[in-house]
Chain A
């Protein structure tokens, strides 16, 4: 199990969690909130936490329509900032709307599950790398 550390500016560790429905991510990292469910469930949970004042570290959506059809999503959430950030609230809300519209006519592609687990993990790790280089 890996604990991914994210440092606060000026030192100290920032608390963060990975919200995911991807078993590979849950198996590899420790600070995970594992959601047994769909991407939609992950997005809704993310929204609920952001609405409670936690902060959105990575964007809830992928960068292409193709990725929206995949069955896994991992999103990094930071500790409560104390106040609600309008932009984050809007981003998370709009993400859900966009996701649902794109997926409206479609079935989530589950044939390539193993591949998608890995792909989601790699994209998450790319994001973690991006976070770690910004200290």
Chain B
């Protein structure tokens, strides 16, 4: 399977009369996009804004982040099984408005969370301070029940991303990344001496605001599934997860899954990348045992020498991570886990994340309780009161000088457990 990702570098976004890209400037026809989003009769109104890196803008509460992309030469556009009919992804050519992102915001059931600061201290902690963001804030029709509300927000973001990139279908890409991999059998023949590595990506799969989707199928409905890494890189997996700001996997992070990218970078050279297993993080213990057992079995069947396991969320998924690790290590398969930790605001508590003797190789994506002080913003996109509800915010977290104390867990992507960001902890 060969996938080409053509990058068209975006260096600014502005509203204008026509949606187009020229010399790195993405111009967006606001009315046209708004009309498109309002085609969904669950949506009463939509507000569109732009947030650029360095601007004193705070976006809150962020629901999802999506990278604008277009499938070149394809009649069917959009996310398969979600915003379009099922179609093949993971091969052919996809053009990307690289450096741009759609950011959806708005509250569903008082569960506001997730800050993206485009400037100052806060910008350091989120990867989405570096993208030019088109911010989509919908107002639902009165009385819309939360499940539908969540769906409407999710689809609005995905549709907006496809809309923005449509104009780039026939553009010349400035950089083309090629992701190509033979089938497992061929690869083993080709690279007999390279260690075979599988990637297990765990997904929160627990109900409203706690779901992920694979080709539109809710991940809580699946058994652990083996997919080609290219499928995920090309839009097969999207986020419906509106909690866990710091350690959820946004759609953007699925499209650019960093573990997949970094394994690909060494594929055929230092390792043999077997593929991706998507594993649901369920609520029942029985479900957890089943998923973990089957995940370990898939790794065994594929002859994996090593498995990198990434978690999503904190709390009950820690148990899944532990059990998968234990089962794999007992089979003699070496694991590396990526997770985050809670070692208290002062960092002095022993992290509890995952303590099983088998977890000998763990990457820490940071302390979720680490305190940061955010400088005052000039523009708030969204709702400043939401900071009080943000995980990490508390009643007096807004200071008189406008600065905000918050824990890292309030910041989108801060402690990404797919290792998307550069945060970690060190012992001092």
Q: Which residues of A contact B342 (CB under 8 A)?
A: 65, 98, 101-102
A63 at the interface (CB under 8 A from B): yes
What is the 8 Å Cβ interface bit string for chain A, positions 104-123, against chain B (1 contact, 0 not)?
11110101100110110011
Q: Which residues of A contact B243 (CB under 8 A)?
A: 63-64, 66-67
Please tell me if the beta carbons of B110 and A130 are within 8 angstroms of each other in the complex. no
CB-based closest 3 A-B pairs: A112-B110, A126-B207, A64-B244
A38 at the interface (CB under 8 A from B): no
Chain A residues within 8 Å of B, Cβ to Cβ: 56-69, 76, 88, 91, 94-95, 97-98, 101-102, 104-107, 109, 111-112, 115-116, 118-119, 122-123, 125-127, 130-131, 134
- Asked if A57 meets B285 with Cβ closer than 8 Å, knowing A62-B316, A64-B313, the reply is yes
Interface centre among B247, B281, B315, B392 (most CB of A within 10 A): B315
A54 to chain B, nearest CB (A): 13
- Asked if A123 meets B283 with Cβ closer than 8 Å, knowing A63-B206, A91-B319, the reply is yes
With beta carbons under 8 angstroms apart, the residue of A58, A67, A122, A123 that contacts B285 is: A58
Please tell me if the beta carbons of A119 and B315 are within 8 angstroms of each other in the complex. no
- Asked if A65 meets B352 with Cβ closer than 8 Å, knowing A106-B394, A127-B284, the reply is no
Q: Which residues of A contact B298 (CB under 8 A)?
A: none
Please tell me if the beta carbons of B220 and A63 are within 8 angstroms of each other in the complex. no
Please tell me if the beta carbons of B206 and A123 are within 8 angstroms of each other in the complex. yes
Chain B residues numbered 333-359 whose CB sits less than 8 Å from any CB in chain A: 342, 344-345, 349, 352
Give the interface SS of chain B, mostly helix, strand, loop or mixed: loop
Known: A59-B284, A66-B391, A131-B284. 7 other contacts (CB 8 A): A57-B286, A63-B210, A65-B391, A66-B113, A122-B146, A126-B220, A126-B283
Q: Which residues of A contact B395 (CB under 8 A)?
A: 107
Q: Which residues of A contact B209 (CB under 8 A)?
A: 119
What is the 8 Å Cβ interface bit string for chain B, positions 240-282, against chain A (1 contact, 0 not)?
0001111110000000000000000000000000000000011
A69: nearest residue on chain B (CB-CB)? B391
Please tell me if the beta carbons of A57 and B314 are within 8 angstroms of each other in the complex. no
6 contacting pairs across A/B (C-beta < 8 A): A56-B285, A59-B284, A63-B313, A91-B285, A102-B342, A112-B109
Please tell me if the beta carbons of B248 and A122 are within 8 angstroms of each other in the complex. no
Total interface residues in chain B, CB < 8 Å: 51
Give the interface SS of chain A, mostly helix, strand, loop or mixed: helix
With beta carbons under 8 angstroms apart, the residue of A104, A112, A126 that contacts B208 is: A126
A76 to B208, alpha carbons, bound, how many Å?
18
B366 to chain A, nearest CB (A): 13
B159 at the interface (CB under 8 A from A): no
B96 at the interface (CB under 8 A from A): no
Please tell me if the beta carbons of A65 and B394 are within 8 angstroms of each other in the complex. no
Please tell me if the beta carbons of A63 and B352 are within 8 angstroms of each other in the complex. no
Q: Which residues of B contact A58 (CB under 8 A)?
A: 283-285
A53 to B306, alpha carbons, bound, how many Å?
37
Interface centre among B109, B207, B283, B317 (most CB of A within 10 A): B283
A130 to B288, alpha carbons, bound, how many Å?
11
Q: Which residues of A contact B314 (CB under 8 A)?
A: 63-65
A64 to B184, alpha carbons, bound, how many Å?
35
